[in-house]
Chain A
Amino acid sequence: MEGATNVTVETNLSITEQEVRSFSASKSEPEEFTNLRVQALAAAETLPLPKPDKTKITAWNFTEFPVHSTESSTYSSLTELPEEVQSLVDLKQKSLYIQHNNTPAYLALPEELKAQGVILTDIFTAIRDHADLVGKYFMNEAVKAEEHKLTSLHAALLNGGVFLYVPKNVIVEEPVQVVFIHDNEDASLFNHVLVVADTSSQVTYVETYISTVPHANGLANIVSEVIAEDNAKITYGAVDVLAEGFTAYINRRGVAKRDATIEWALGMMNDSDTISENTTYLIGDNSTGDTKTVVVGRGSQKQNFTTTVRHWGKNSEGQILTHGVMKEAASAIFNGIGKIEHGASKANAEQESRVLMLSEKARGDANPILLIDEDDVTAGHAASVGRVDPLQLYYLMSRGITKQEAERLVIHGFLAPVVRVLPIEGVKKQLTEVIERKVR
């Protein structure tokens, strides 16, 4: 771009190539990875921002942040965790990674899983010690660094995250839990989550983003890549509770190969402005993608949720369910995209998108999109935006339940699809409590 000088690059991106190189060196990253970061940084200068449908983000700050990385304490025992986090983590939880701002702070993985070849580790260790696997999957099959400015910035600035690998034929019975604690207002989260389930393996991964400070000055540019090899099954649960002040870009993308299944259960409870993309690529025949998302927006928050299932595989099955509650002056766009590519015969793309408005000033837009390039398919969508049904309230109140409690029941019921399927009791309870707090 003409006129793009070094000076504007530096002020635009808050970080120089030299700083990226020295950060990479401090983590003892292989040269290839350093180069990947440097190339991505250069690309970020010129690549455009993504264009989430119906939300204009050109004036949003995705590039300026106080510091690239912070040092926080590690935890030698779970009793050292902040109170809010302790309730999330069951003491019986066997597979657990905790990150404290940008610092890998706690890791547990049972010996029997290690013996089977399961890997659970912070992303830096993975980049160093599992270069073959990381090299194969990192920003290669799901998200590409060069897609747009935010993915390239993510690759350049990656400062945290986790790697989970499940080898062929291994069934991990207990859920793997990951907690990202944010308690430094100046911290930015450039987390990369890489979950790979090799052929015929199964795993359930549940992550929580929790801010224990009320305000954030940093950026959240988070990418999760979820790869289900042939006949594998990944269940991915997430509860995001990031503080107001972040500008959050959250991209969770899965690739399901032949006979593979990816199920998402996402509780999007951020208080920050958020652009969320959740995408499932059904590339294999007979693959299945199921996405359930619930959202509560409040204050003057602006959010965009784009949930996409893209079918290449024959007989692939895609389900999208999105339920959003908007209160105060919050606004959100819910784009649901079912895309069936040519050749994906017998594919089925279904989606349901519902928005409940709790105030006059709240805005919610459910925007279902079906893009179909194949004749022999089935598809359907349902979308609605409205208020709490007065007849439902009448019915509940006719049993003696107060109006306030009746509304509470209806709203919790509306957001139940995700709460119900989260496999870790503490996380389920936390999401219920966050919903309670946010809709009150």
Chain B
Amino acid sequence: MSTLVIKDLHVKIEDKEILKGVDLTINTGEIHAIMGPNGTGKSTLASAIMGHPKYEITQGSITLDGEDVLEMEVDERARAGLFLGMQYPSEISGVTNADFMRSAMNARREEGDEISLMKFIRELDSKMEVLDMQEDMAQRYLNEGFSGGEKKRNEILQLMMIKPKFAILDEIDSGLDIDALKVVSEGINQMRSESFGCLIITHYQRLLNYITPDHVHVMMQGRVVKSGGEELSHKLEAEGYDWIKAELGIEDETVGQQA
């Protein structure tokens, strides 16, 4: 079992503190969902774990099986087992989706032990079928001209090919129609295993109808303010966030405010 531990994490962007002490522990075999209104720091948490160049960690720690993640470069974090399904993946012209994914897989292997082309193609074809992706997507340039839904599917395709220990999925459901949501969920559910942990960040409870989380957390003002089981997401769906704000005496839940 692997464990990702986030302790007292404080994160700044352009001199504004966004995260103000996040604590969270995720084990492989578990699916966690982070919910919360806009502007409460959810995406910042995802980016900070992966090492986005714009975010500065001012306090706290992130460890993966005891190893200091914050000391690692972005690519080292990925090779250590972290994956971030991005809300706005970059478009890279001239680099085919297939070449990119093969580079990513080979980056985890020793020189001389690269994945064979045949094996790679077989695996890619089968995962693309699960995600109901057009065959030509493999030869198209990475995310270039992809629709919103195609980009999200492509993120999940990478997840399925790379098979990380921990995936953080940043609003992977936003902008998806119901059919796309189903195939994306199917892809994530196929990953479910004792050796895989997942942190799903979402605005909407809808996604959690298809992927049942083990733990649900609510973020407000740059902190995790409430945690519970699956039932918490249903309560949020039915009652919104006001009851939590009332319970905790929060007036404005966004990060600009203090309780």
B75 touches A401 (CB 8 A): yes
Return the CB mask of B157-177 against A: 1 if under 8 Å, else 0.
010001000000000000000
Verify if B100 is at the interface (C-beta below 8 Å from A).
yes
Q: Which of B52, B94, B142 has the most CB of A within 10 A?
A: B94
A394 touches B74 (CB 8 A): yes
B83 partner residues in chain A, CB cutoff 8 A: 398-399
Task: Report if A412-B90 is in contact (Cβ < 8 Å); known contacts: A398-B84, A401-B103.
Answer: no
Decide if the interface of chain B is mainly helix, strand, loop or mixed. mixed
Return the CB mask of A390-402 against B: 1 if under 8 Å, else 0.
1110111111111
Task: Report if A398-B95 is in contact (Cβ < 8 Å); known contacts: A391-B90, A405-B107.
Answer: no
Complex CA gap A10/B18 in Å reads: 75
A394 touches B162 (CB 8 A): no
A409 touches B78 (CB 8 A): no
A residues touching B (Cβ–Cβ < 8 Å)?
A: 389-392, 394-403, 405-406, 409-410, 412-417, 420
A414 touches B94 (CB 8 A): yes
A410 touches B75 (CB 8 A): no
A398 partner residues in chain B, CB cutoff 8 A: 50-51, 74-75, 77-78, 83-84, 86
Complex CA gap A410/B162 in Å reads: 20
The answer, among A391, A403, A414, for a CB contact under 8 Å with B75, is A403
A409 touches B100 (CB 8 A): yes
A410 partner residues in chain B, CB cutoff 8 A: 92, 95
B93 touches A414 (CB 8 A): yes
A409 touches B103 (CB 8 A): yes
* Pairs A–B under 8 Å by Cβ, sample size 14: A394-B74, A396-B104, A397-B73, A398-B83, A398-B86, A399-B101, A399-B104, A400-B78, A400-B79, A401-B103, A402-B75, A409-B92, A409-B95, A409-B103
Complex CA gap A402/B94 in Å reads: 18
B52 touches A392 (CB 8 A): no
A397 partner residues in chain B, CB cutoff 8 A: 73-75, 78
Verify if B241 is at the interface (C-beta below 8 Å from A).
no
**A386 CB, min distance to chain B CBs, angstroms:** 14
Q: Which of A395, A399, A416 has the most CB of B within 10 A?
A: A399
Complex CA gap A420/B52 in Å reads: 32
Return the CB mask of B29-68 against A: 1 if under 8 Å, else 0.
0000000000000000000001111000000000000000
Residue of B nearest to A409 (CB): B95
A400 partner residues in chain B, CB cutoff 8 A: 75, 78-79, 104, 107-108, 162
How many interface residues does chain B have, given as a range?
20 to 34
B103 touches A405 (CB 8 A): yes
A392 touches B90 (CB 8 A): yes
Task: Report if A395-B92 is in contact (Cβ < 8 Å); known contacts: A400-B79, A403-B73.
Answer: yes
Return the CB mask of B77-115 against A: 1 if under 8 Å, else 0.
111000110100110111100011101100110000000
B93 partner residues in chain A, CB cutoff 8 A: 413-414, 416
B108 partner residues in chain A, CB cutoff 8 A: 400
B residues touching A (Cβ–Cβ < 8 Å)?
A: 50-53, 73-75, 77-79, 83-84, 86, 89-90, 92-95, 99-101, 103-104, 107-108, 141-142, 158, 162
The answer, among A395, A416, A417, A420, for a CB contact under 8 Å with B90, is A395
Complex CA gap A402/B79 in Å reads: 10
Complex CA gap A106/B162 in Å reads: 51
> With contacts defined as CB atoms under 8 Å apart, how many contacts are there between chain A and chain B in the complex?
83
A396 partner residues in chain B, CB cutoff 8 A: 90, 92, 100, 104
Q: Which of A395, A415, A417, A420 has the most CB of B within 10 A?
A: A395
Complex CA gap A396/B73 in Å reads: 12
Complex CA gap A412/B141 in Å reads: 12
Residue of A nearest to B90 (CB): A395
Task: Report if A415-B94 is in contact (Cβ < 8 Å); known contacts: A398-B50, A400-B79.
Answer: yes
A389 partner residues in chain B, CB cutoff 8 A: 90
Nearest 10 A/B pairs, CB to CB: A413-B94, A416-B94, A400-B78, A399-B104, A395-B90, A413-B95, A397-B74, A400-B107, A397-B75, A400-B79
Residue of A nearest to B141 (CB): A413
B92 touches A413 (CB 8 A): yes
Residue of A nearest to B82 (CB): A398
B94 touches A399 (CB 8 A): no
The answer, among A395, A402, A413, A416, for a CB contact under 8 Å with B86, is A395
B107 touches A401 (CB 8 A): yes
Residue of B nearest to A408 (CB): B103
**A88 CB, min distance to chain B CBs, angstroms:** 22
Complex CA gap A412/B158 in Å reads: 21
Complex CA gap A275/B257 in Å reads: 60
**B51 CB, min distance to chain A CBs, angstroms:** 8
B78 touches A399 (CB 8 A): yes
Complex CA gap A156/B73 in Å reads: 60
Complex CA gap A416/B53 in Å reads: 27
The answer, among B52, B73, B141, B158, for a CB contact under 8 Å with A399, is B158
Complex CA gap A410/B103 in Å reads: 13
A412 touches B94 (CB 8 A): yes
Complex CA gap A184/B116 in Å reads: 43
Residue of A nearest to B74 (CB): A397
Complex CA gap A40/B158 in Å reads: 63
Known: A395-B86, A409-B99, A420-B94. 7 other contacts (CB 8 A): A394-B51, A397-B73, A398-B86, A401-B107, A402-B107, A405-B103, A410-B95
